[in-house]
Structure 1
Amino acid sequence: MTPAVNCAKKAKISFRTHSYQHDPNTASYGDEAAQALGIDPQRVFKTLLVSLDGNPKKLAVGVVPVSGSLDLKAIGTCLKSKKVAMADPAEAQRATGYLLGGISPLGQKKRLPLILDQSAKSLETIHVSGGKRGLEIELAPADLLRLTGGQYGDIGRG
């Protein structure tokens, strides 16, 4: 059991886990999950960490559909930060307790500010990493925001 799954269980929310065989040579973890599980890529969301204000240890989380990308300027606006960059991978792993490709927005070692792309509002459920490569959690977007203290924002592009 991963910290993400434990977090969802402890909160007693409605969720489902989906496992698939992860290919270590894959170029895109999120696209791999959508394809392996036969899910519309608009419903599979990737968890991306950004650093704020030029401080590599001041991190936040953006959750966007795997079919698109994260708009750094837009997430900066949501978080009232003028300078936003993708987080150093080692810092992201250290802050969350997860390996790249398996970073879940749930059950992170430290609660970080989280912005979920507003495209999730129209979906009954979304899929996010379950805390390891080859594991997805399907849950309601509102439950994800409740468990993470996150908010919606127009941060996805494409």
Structure 2
Amino acid sequence: MAKVKEEKTNVMRVLDQKKIPYTPHAYPHGDGEAPDGVTVARSLGQDPERVFKTLVTRGASGGYYVFDIPVTDTLDLKKAAKAVGEKSIAMLHSRELLPLTGYVHGGCSPIGMKKQFPTVFHETAEILDTIMVSAGKIGFQVELSPADLIELVGGTTADVTV
């Protein structure tokens, strides 16, 4: 039986390069649309509060912002705007995601975007030993220390959910 070569995503290569410890996870998925975050968490046997989704927004000033929140939560646009000093923010349209970040909807990660944007993690990240975020490709997640992740992307934390 041939040995299956572990697939490395760009996110994993960035973490390896920066010598940040992580645990890769893969989950089953169909062609096309990515499963929702709760389905991903369940398929990996994880508490959905530890699995974070990456959301990209545009502020009233035209700047872009990244928010990482638990998959069960909803981003509060008013709290999010306040957290980044914007008058208002809006979710980025899916079709704009790939050209801006290099990632597709359902595989967007705060690590390794084409350009690093201001990134805010939900405040619960600070109290968890590890969190999971997309590894930059549908079907893959990485589990790592939130402190390492926040430091890597120059992120902050705030209460940004409903």
Instruction: Note whether the superposition's TM-score is higher than 0.5.
Output: yes
1:32 to partner: Cα distance: 2.1
Residue of structure 2 in register with 1:7 after alignment: 14
Identity between Structure 1 and Structure 2 (%): 39
Unaligned stretches of 5+ residues in structure 2? 1-7
Q: Is residue 95 from structure 1 mapped to residue 100 from structure 2 by the alignment?
A: yes
Counterpart amino acid of 1:147? L
Task: Identify the residue that residue 40 of structure 1 maps to in structure 2.
Answer: 47
For the pair 1:53 / 2:60, whether they are aligned, the reply is: yes
Whole-Å separation in 1 of the counterparts to 2:161 and 2:44? 22
Which secondary structure does the structure 2 equivalent of 1:34 belong to? helix
Q: TM-score, normalization: structure 2?
A: 0.90
Pairwise CA distance, 1:54: 5.9
The amino acid of 2:54's aligned partner reads T
> Is the CA contact (8 Å cut-off) linking 2:33 and 2:106 kept in structure 1?
no
Q: Quick check: 2:24–2:141 contact (8 Å CA) kept in 1?
A: yes
For 1:146, the aligned partner's letter is E
Structure 1 stretches of 5 or more lacking a match?
A: none
The match for 2:5 is: none
Give CA deviations for 1:1-34 in whole Å, capped at 9, x if unaligned: 2221111111101111000111347675312210
Partner of 1:22: 29
One-letter amino acid matched to 2:14: C
CA distance in 2, matches of 1:33, 1:40: 10
The 2-side partners of 1:25 and 1:89 are apart by 14
**Alignment check: 8 A CA contact 2:9 2:135 kept:** yes
Write the distance in 2 (CA, Å) between the matches of 1:23 and 1:32. 12
Residues 1:27 and 1:103: Cα distance change in structure 2 (over 3 Å): closer
Deviations 1:113-137 (A, max 9, x none): 1000001111000000000111000
CA distance in 2, matches of 1:3, 1:28: 21
2:150 counterpart (127, 145, 149):
145
**Which structure has the highest strand share of the two?**
1
- 1:65-87 CA deviation, whole Å, 9 max, x = no partner? 00111111111001100121001
Across the two proteins, how many residue pairs are aligned to each other? Answer: 155
Please give the TM-score of this superposition, normalised by the length of structure 1.
Answer: 0.92
